[in-house]
Chains A and B, each alone.
Chain A
Amino acid sequence: MSHVSDGGRPAERGLALRGVWKLYGATAALRDVSLTALAGHTLALLGPNGAGKSTVLRIASGLTRPTRGTVEVEGHHPGRDGIRRLIGFAGHRTFLYGALTAEENLRFYADLYGIPAAGVDAALERFALTAVRRRRAGELSRGLAQRLSLARALLHDPRIVLLDEPFTGLDASTAEALGAAIRRLREDGRTVVLATHEWDAAREVADEAVVLLGGRVALRTAAGALARSDLAGLYAGAAHR
């Protein structure tokens, strides 16, 4: 188990953050974070609330600019128009319009990405949403909305998939289905980065884990080598510091 980051080694296929800082006024949300997620791998970002997990994802997606440091998506800066197509992001919130049906939500995003109608049908089928395609997103259960959000994020077949707390609030079977979807992405050569508190579920799909504490990378390790008790120890140690 290594207690240092990997220094953000080159990742022409995948995602790399190098020396990334994010300051909100005098508060540092991220401090010199360097990490790499390679194509065909799943990286789990772990850490207590406020550790900086969501900030890493937002910076990686191009939604937020780093105060210092660089981000590379498949070797390019994530803010550029052409690169946005490579990124699929499912955040805390669903990005869905409650008054639109499941199908209309996907069709709207498909229009923005220039995807034909057949792509929407395929996404509904892939995420087992065909039966609820005409139900409004605002009337869907948490699990169905999460699936629809994931279908939206993956609609354009992105190479980099960023998932923020994807397992939160899901029942066991939906979490299992999500896990299977993530494994398929990995097998398809996609780069998956997920921020989560649900280590038991994430461990089943992750290759590597990075633990953030206070905005810094405190630990990077193979997922199989990290037990829940290790995490509890790290969090407790950070809380006492």
Chain B
Amino acid sequence: MRPLLAILRKDLTVEGRSRDLIPAMTLVALLLLALSGSAGLRGLDGAVVVWLAVVVSSALGLTRSFAAEVDQEQLHGLRLAPVDPAWIYLGKAAANVVVVLAVEALILGAAVVFLDLPLGGRPATLAVVLALGAAAVVSAGTLLGAVLAVAKTREALMPLLLLPLTAPAVMAASGGTVKLLEGGEPVTGEVLLLAAFLALFIAAGLLMFEYVIEE
């Protein structure tokens, strides 16, 4: 647990000072929402745009998150430490979840303004769906970020890989969000599906991260 907390604290401190991720991610998301709003998209349909904005902005942020570990070969410093690589993955993923959740909150607020997204109904369950969806996208994206860390075309490759990989989870999150905003049907199925995808992505990360960061 100690390495996880050290990496989480380090990443959030770095982001707090460099502001490398959140402003860029938010800008991309706001542009997407504003364009959708100007095209006349309103109400519940906005929930789909919210999730599209979450995934696209996450792709940008997750690419940069690992890029910060290569400019001074910091990843080598992590690999040399007597730490199970799984903790490095979990630490990076935890920091990324915090960043994506912060951006997600801004996206929701902007969606209310640009798309008249009707927030209400069951806020606690909505928060669970939003958190599970973000965690699923991040857990897959953190592993991809490590794979692409040294690739010259990582900015182009990340969305190409992240979008299809997380599409089923994002569809479940999007469907669950629409149902919650409508205030009607239960979303147990969507929540279970999201939890299953999250578990799958985390398991893949824990198993594969060691080999991904190896030279």
Residue positions of A touching B, CB distance < 8 A: 58, 61-65, 81-82, 84-85, 87, 89, 91-100, 104, 108-109, 111-114, 136, 152
Contacts and interface: CB of A to CB of B under 8 A. Distances in A.
Do most interface residues of chain B lie in helix, strand or loop, or is the interface mixed? helix
A113 B13 contact: no
A93 B73 contact: yes
Interface of B: 2-3, 5-6, 9-10, 13-14, 17-18, 68, 71-74, 76-84, 214-215
B73 A89 contact: no
B77 A99 contact: no
Contacts of B79: 63
Contacts of A91: 73, 76
A81 B84 contact: yes
Given A100-B17, A136-B17, 10 more contacts: A62-B80, A64-B215, A84-B80, A93-B71, A97-B10, A97-B72, A98-B72, A100-B14, A108-B10, A111-B5
Contacts of A111: 2-3, 5-6
A104 B13 contact: yes
Given A100-B13, A100-B14, A92 B77 contact: no
B17 to A, nearest CB: 4
B76 A63 contact: yes
A113 B82 contact: yes
Contacts of A89: 76, 80
A152 B10 CA distance: 15
B14 A97 contact: yes
Contact of A95 (B72, B214, B215): B72
19 contacts: A63-B76, A63-B79, A63-B215, A64-B215, A81-B84, A92-B73, A93-B71, A95-B76, A97-B68, A97-B72, A98-B72, A99-B13, A99-B17, A100-B17, A109-B81, A111-B3, A111-B5, A112-B6, A112-B83
A65 B17 CA distance: 36
A58 B82 CA distance: 16
B135 to A, nearest CB: 24
A84 B17 CA distance: 31
A1 B176 CA distance: 76
Most chain B C-beta atoms within 10 Å of own C-beta, residue among A63, A65, A82, A97: A97
Contact of B82 (A61, A82, A100): A82
A92 B76 CA distance: 11
A97 B6 CA distance: 13
Contacts of B6: 108, 111-112
Given A111-B3, A112-B81, A113-B82, A100 B76 contact: no
Contacts of B9: 108
A28 B144 CA distance: 30
A94 B17 contact: no
A109 to B, nearest CB: 7
B80 A61 contact: yes
Contacts of A62: 80
Name which of A100, A108, A112 has the most chain B CB atoms within 10 A of its CB.
A112
A211 B76 CA distance: 26
B64 to A, nearest CB: 13
Contacts of A92: 73
Contacts of A109: 77, 81
Contacts of A98: 71-72
Nearest to B15: A99
B194 to A, nearest CB: 32
A95 B77 contact: yes
Contacts of A87: 80
Contacts of A113: 81-82
Nearest to A83: B82
